[in-house]
């Protein structure tokens, strides 16, 4: 039986090749719940928020350029939460990391460390939100080339007159202001936010529960970004970011904040999987088969995300950025009802619109750009069309992008 790792292997290799062409690659990671509560006949599911909610947990790590271009998926962890794991947050400090779900951050970090050794000329930066503010997530990278950027959740003890992390950063002078784009959220429109930025070096003490274990204090850099004059009724942004990379001036502090905003791509990617690829609608007999299908959808989800974002930002890019030769050739000939494709591929924007039209996008002037659902449907059809094309055009076989 084919394992999910084998399904993803070709995509991982292609992602590494894309990463090798960059100077800096960000590796945001995050978790989402996959709810299969209505799939009562599926075996191997776990509990989610309650004993009555059944499904799987998915933790994804993307490779992203600092400009926000998704290069591919580098890690996918899928597991079922055992019923006896509900309600154990109160004793989390007493349990070893291996027994906590927070081990997912360290597992992703191990994957990133292996990639950093494989790509010594590329600066990799593992990025996590507040759930990733785990001492063991920061500690292993201090002696490696890999960098970490995490949003702080805990007001940790630090070496400074203020003694605590937040007080230490708030005591620093405001170095300037930065504008960031905040995506739309439920009940909140997208907006531009003005952030006041402070930064400083910080020495984080060993957690009290683990003192005496021979662990070392962490020499890090902190950046505090606080929203200035937020809209009425909107909770202001306040991010305290910890990084293993030096932050020596305002420009570097702004860069760390901009890097952190790329973490939103993980949320968009998971939305693509759910609303575009409809992964929660898969009805299979057991969780093992669901995990295999998730591996396939991981690649399709990346293609949809890449096509959606890059097709709008870089419309003149050749469509070979996401399609193999036989795919764009099959797409072109099917669309134009001809037998011989042109020698040059169409633009990415044009190919994206043709793919979306396969999925039901009408392409009228008033329709705007294609959405993730029609792109996903179109890619499903394109895969079948391209497979048929290869049967009669074996010379078009090539080394794929994924």
Of 215, 249, 283, the one marking the end of a domain is 249
Mean pLDDT in residue range 347-357 = 91
Residue 99's region, left for phi above 0, alpha for psi from -120 to 50, else beta, is alpha
Answer whether residue 377 is part of any domain. Answer: yes
Answer whether residue 96 is part of any domain. Answer: no
Q: Are 159 and 240 found together in one domain?
A: yes
Answer whether residue 343 is part of any domain. Answer: yes
pTM score: 0.85
According to DSSP, the β-strands at 24-35 and 54-64 are antiparallel
Answer whether residue 289 is part of any domain. Answer: no
The answer to whether the CB of 334 falls within 8 A of the CB of 346 is no
Of 224, 249, 274, the one marking the end of a domain is 249
Q: Are 243 and 330 found together in one domain?
A: no
- In this prediction, residue 142 carries a pLDDT of 66
Q: Are 242 and 323 found together in one domain?
A: no
Among the residue ranges 10-14, 45-49, 185-189, the one predicted with the least confidence is: 185-189
Answer whether residue 94 is part of any domain. Answer: no
CATH of residue 326's domain is 1.10.740.10
- In this prediction, residue 397 carries a pLDDT of 52
Answer whether residue 51 is part of any domain. Answer: no
Q: Which residues pair with 147 in a beta bridge?
A: 125
Full domain range(s) for residue 204: 150-249
For the chain, what is the mean pLDDT? 88
Answer whether residue 89 is part of any domain. Answer: no
Query: What are the pLDDT digits (tens) for 60-90?
Result: 999 999 998 999 999 999 999 988 776 665 5
Considering its fold, how many domains does the chain have in total?
Answer: 2
CA-to-CA distance for 241 and 319, rounded, in angstroms?
A: 37
Q: Are 159 and 241 found together in one domain?
A: yes
Answer whether residue 201 is part of any domain. Answer: yes
CA-to-CA distance for 255 and 66, rounded, in angstroms?
A: 9
Please report how the helices 348-358 and 372-392 are oriented relative to each other, as an axis angle in degrees rounded to 10: 90
């Amino acid at each position: 039986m084919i394992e999910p790792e084998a399904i993803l292997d070709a995509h991982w290799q292609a992602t590494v090749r894309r990463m090798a062409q960059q100077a800096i690659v960000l590796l945001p990671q995050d978790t989402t719940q996959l709810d299969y509560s209505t799939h009562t006949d599926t075996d191997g599911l776990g509990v989610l928020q309650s004993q009555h909610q059944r499904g799987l947990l998915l933790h994804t790590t993307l490779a992203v350029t600092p400009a926000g271009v998704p290069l591919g998926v580098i890690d996918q962890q899928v597991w079922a939460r055992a019923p006896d794991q509900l309600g154990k947050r109160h004793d989390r400090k007493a349990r070893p990391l291996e027994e906590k779900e927070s081990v997912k951050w360290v597992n992703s970090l191990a994957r990133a460390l292996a990639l950093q050794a494989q790509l010594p000329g590329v600066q990799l930066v593992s990025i996590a939100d507040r759930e990733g503010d785990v001492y063991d997530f920061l500690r292993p990278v201090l002696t490696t080339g890999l960098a970490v950027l995490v949003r702080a959740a805990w007001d940790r003890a630090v070496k400074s007159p203020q003694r605590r992390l937040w007080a230490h950063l708030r005591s620093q002078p405001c170095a300037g202001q930065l504008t960031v784009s905040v995506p739309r959220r439920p009940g909140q429109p997208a907006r531009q936010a003005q952030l006041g930025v402070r930064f400083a070096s910080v020495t984080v003490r060993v957690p009290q529960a683990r003192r005496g274990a021979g662990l070392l204090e962490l020499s890090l850099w902190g950046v505090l970004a606080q929203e200035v004059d937020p809209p009425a009724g909107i909770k202001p942004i306040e991010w305290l970011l910890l990084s293993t990379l030096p932050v020596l001036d305002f420009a570097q502090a702004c860069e760390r904040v901009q890097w952190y905003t790329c973490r939103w791509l993980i949320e968009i990617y998971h939305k693509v999987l759910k609303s575009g690829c409809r992964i929660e609608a898969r009805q299979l007999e057991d969780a093992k088969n669901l995990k295999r299908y998730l591996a396939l959808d991981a690649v399709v989800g990346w293609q949809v995300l890449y096509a959606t974002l890059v097709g709008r930002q870089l419309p003149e890019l050749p469509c070979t950025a996401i399609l193999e030769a036989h795919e764009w050739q099959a797409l072109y000939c099917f669309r134009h009802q001809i037998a011989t494709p042109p020698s040059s591929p169409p633009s990415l924007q044009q190919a994206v619109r043709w793919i979306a039209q396969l999925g039901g996008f009408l392409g009228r002037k008033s329709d705007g750009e294609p959405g993730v659902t029609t792109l996903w449907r179109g890619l499903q059809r394109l895969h079948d069309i391209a497979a048929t094309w290869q049967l009669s055009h074996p010379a078009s076989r090539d080394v794929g992008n994924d």
